[in-house]
Each structure stands twice: as structure tokens, then as C-alpha cells.
Amino acid sequence: MSDGGITLLLVIALFAILAGGVWIGLALSGVAWIGMELFSSRPAGDAMAVTIWGTASSWTLTALPLFVWMGEILFRTRLSEDMFKGLAPWLERVPGRLLHTNIIGCTIFAAVSGSSAATCATIGKMTLPELKRRGYPEGITIGTLAGAGTLGLLIPPSIIMIVYGVMANVSIAHLFIAGIVPGILLAALFSGYIVAWALANPDKVPRVTERTTLAQKLAASRHLIPVVLLIALVLGSIYSGLATATEAAAFGVLGSLAISAAQRSLTWASFRDSVMGATRLYCMIALILAGAAFLTLAMGYIGLPRHLAEWIAAQGFTPFTLVMALTVFYIVLGCFLDGISMVVLTMGVIQPSIEAAHIDLIWFGIFIVIVVEMAQITPPVGFNLFVLQGMTKKEITFIAKHAVPMFLLMFAAVLLIWWVPDLITALPTRMKIGG
């Protein structure tokens, strides 16, 4: 059978298994087993055992459950409520006013979370009721939150960056620092859109009913102290070279427990819930990673990555054409799979082509995170859309329609980082940080 026929058969098998309701991790393992049994000489059972054990025992991957646990602990504190109290007074004179709390709140919380869904849910629980009570239109409120929530993937620490770093064998600490400038850039684009929308629709923005003095604004800013200290602890330990990403994640868990205790929200019940929530989420991610690693091995034995790289080289794609083709590919794939599944499922096939095109793997890591962010707000499997649907009881189509401007701004960000790659690569090359 030709390479195209094998690929088509495996893709059909994957979607058939997924359509049957099988978990993604098991579906990936099943497709890998089919591929190895039918198209290679190595015993599939032996390969599966060795690959899954090797993936599960990776020390680098230890950072992932720790960051997930940190986000679960913070989810059960008053951190998000305190952020709103600290930010709101400073936005009175900015066009769009309190709509910017979606963007700034998600940007700040993303720096201590690492999960798009957790960022969207945590900030949304606090801003959506407040903005609705104050008379802000639901469309722009929900749309900007859907887009800003994806910053949880881009602004470090990021769960998907850890997964990519493991899959592509690149420094997670370098990925973290490379995501800072693009994350701030994307947040600025989102806020710029709110400003433009507010100037074009001045009648839809509620009037300010009361003004706060500078002293009141400074007093309200004290609510931001816990989150600033936690960000400094986690990211500062990485960028100063004092800790690796895994060690910084442990610091983050200790810091979040300290904040929870200080706010009197640390109880045995909340501690147990945070541990169980993190365990469930990480077990899901670990199963996907293990299945994807086995699938990557199977494709290697079959020869698909090498043949795909040869095919791409034969097409004479320029690096820009390749990046644009991959953008479309990942957006379409995002209609069916979550972000982590997209990364682990495709990196084994895509990485040889990226290296052959001489595209920097750190740059490509940030690129793929932005494109996965775009997939988070594309139906029918946009995770942020599901989160917001559960919170607002709105139709997926309503949420997706109002998230379209955010989607387009993310595409503009992809073009910007292509034209100015130093937005990504400058900081990692200038700073000495841990691996």
C-alpha cells in the first residue's frame, strides 16, 4: 500500500474510534497498534510497553501536574475577585472601561495558571456577572473573554508549552520566556480592539457613575499584591536561573497554598478537591501523551514522517508557505481535537519538515501555541466555547460569532511573529536561564 493509502487508512481508523466515544489517549494507542501490526515487522505489544513507560517516567513532565495543581488551588481562592477590585479603578477613563478587565484579568491569571480553560472559567466567574450588572453588552463581553482566556496557553507558565517541549526536545524554560512578548502583544491587540469598538459604539458603553481618587486607586491596588508575588516567585526563579521549570512549579504550588491559607480558603475539603481535580486532569493529559508517543513511534517504523518530509521538500514550499499551510491544517484539526492532542499527535510527523525548512523550534513552539489558541474558539470542539456555554447558557454559535474578531487578531499575530521573529527569539537568546 502507498504512503497516502496508509495515512488515509490510519486517519479513518482514528476518527472511527473517536466517533465511537473512546478516550483520545486510547484511540491514539489503538491506531498506533493497527499501524504497527499491519505495516511494520516489530511486535506492537513490546513497543507499546516500552514507549508508554518511557513517556510516563519523563522527569521533565513532572512540571505539568504541579502547574495543573497550582491552578486548581488558585481556582478555589479569592485571587480572581481581588484582581477585579485592584484593576477596575484604573480603567475608568479608558475607552471600553471595564471590558478591559477581561483582557488584563486573563493576562495576569494566565501567568499563574497555564490552562486556557481554567483562565477563562476563573476570570469569567468574576467578570461576567459584574459586567452584566453594570450594563455592558453580552456579545462583546463574552467574545473578548473567549479570546482573552486563550492567553492561558501562551503566557508562561503554560501546560501546552511543557507538552511541546517534551515532544520536540527543546528547553521548556526557553519556551516560557519566548512566550512573554507574544503574550503581551496579543493582549494589547485584544485591548486595542475593545478601544476601537468602544469608540465606534459609544452609546453601548455604560457611563461612569462615580470617580475614584488617586489615593483610592492606590489603595485598591493592594489586592494585586498576592498575584504579583506569586508571578515573581514562579517566573523569577526560572528567568534568574535559580530553578528549572519543574522546580519553579513546586515553588508555585507552595506559593498558592500560602495564598490560600492567608485568605482562609485552605480547608481540608478545598485541599482534597484541588488534589483530585489536578489528578483527574493530569491523568487525562498523561494518557493522551502516552498514546501519542506510541503513535509517533509507530509512524516512525512505518516511515510516514520521513516520507512526509520528502514530499514537502519535493513540493518546493517556501518556509512562509509551509507555515501558512500548517496554520490552516491546525485550525481545521482544532475543530475535532483539543490543543494538547493536536500537539502530541502531529509533532512526530511535522518536526522533520520544520527542521528541514530551517525554522527555529522555539519560534515554532510559540507559533503552534498561538494557532492552538485559535482552535480553542473554533466550533465544534473549541474548549473555551464549551466553558463559556456552561457559564452563560448561550448557544455555541452565539459565542463563536462574537469571538471571530479575536480569532482574526490571533491570525494577525501569526503574521507579525513571522515578519518579526525577534518578538519570540530575542529574549531567550539574551538571557541565561535553566532548562
d(C-alpha 14, C-alpha 34), whole Å: 10
In this predicted structure, what is the pLDDT of residue 306? 63
In this predicted structure, what is the pLDDT of residue 406? 92
More confident residue, 179 or 116: 179
Whether 325 maps to a domain, the answer reads yes
Asked whether residue 381 carries a pLDDT value surpassing 70, the answer given is no
In this predicted structure, what is the pLDDT of residue 3? 62
Whether 6 maps to a domain, the answer reads no
Asked whether residue 280 carries a pLDDT value surpassing 70, the answer given is yes
Residue carrying C-alpha cell 501519542: 292
In this predicted structure, what is the pLDDT of residue 187? 93
In this predicted structure, what is the pLDDT of residue 157? 77
Q: What is the mean pLDDT of the chain?
A: 82
More confident residue, 182 or 112: 182
Whether 15 maps to a domain, the answer reads no
pLDDT, mean of residues 244-253: 83
In this predicted structure, what is the pLDDT of residue 348? 76
In this predicted structure, what is the pLDDT of residue 183? 92
Confidence of residue 418 (pLDDT cuts 50, 70, 90): very high
| Range in 240-254, 316-330, 331-345, 356-370 the model is least confident about | 331-345
In this predicted structure, what is the pLDDT of residue 193? 94
Confidence of residue 432 (pLDDT cuts 50, 70, 90): low
In this predicted structure, what is the pLDDT of residue 407? 92
Whether 17 maps to a domain, the answer reads no
More confident residue, 148 or 380: 148
pLDDT, mean of residues 408-419: 94
Asked whether residue 163 carries a pLDDT value surpassing 80, the answer given is yes
In this predicted structure, what is the pLDDT of residue 218? 85
In this predicted structure, what is the pLDDT of residue 368? 92
Find out whether 116 and 74 touch, Cβ atoms under 8 Å: no
Asked whether residue 433 carries a pLDDT value surpassing 60, the answer given is no
Whether 3 maps to a domain, the answer reads no
Residues 350-372: tens digit of each pLDDT: 888 888 888 999 999 999 999 98
Asked whether residue 341 carries a pLDDT value surpassing 70, the answer given is yes
In this predicted structure, what is the pLDDT of residue 178? 92
Whether 197 maps to a domain, the answer reads yes
d(C-alpha 304, C-alpha 404), whole Å: 35
Residues 3-40: tens digit of each pLDDT: 667 777 877 887 788 778 777 778 888 888 888 888 77
pLDDT, mean of residues 101-124: 78
Residue carrying C-alpha cell 507579525: 416
Confidence of residue 78 (pLDDT cuts 50, 70, 90): confident
- The residue range of the domain holding 174 is 24-430
C-alpha cell at 328: 490552516
In this predicted structure, what is the pLDDT of residue 308? 63
Whether 146 maps to a domain, the answer reads yes
Whether 111 maps to a domain, the answer reads yes
pLDDT, mean of residues 201-220: 80
Find out whether 25 and 12 touch, Cβ atoms under 8 Å: no
- As for how many domains the chain has, the answer is 1
C-alpha cell at 190: 485584544
In this predicted structure, what is the pLDDT of residue 346? 79
d(C-alpha 338, C-alpha 381), whole Å: 7
In this predicted structure, what is the pLDDT of residue 414? 94
Residues 171-207: tens digit of each pLDDT: 888 998 999 999 999 999 999 999 999 999 888 887 7
In this predicted structure, what is the pLDDT of residue 60? 65
Residues 80-110: tens digit of each pLDDT: 677 777 877 888 778 888 889 889 888 887 8
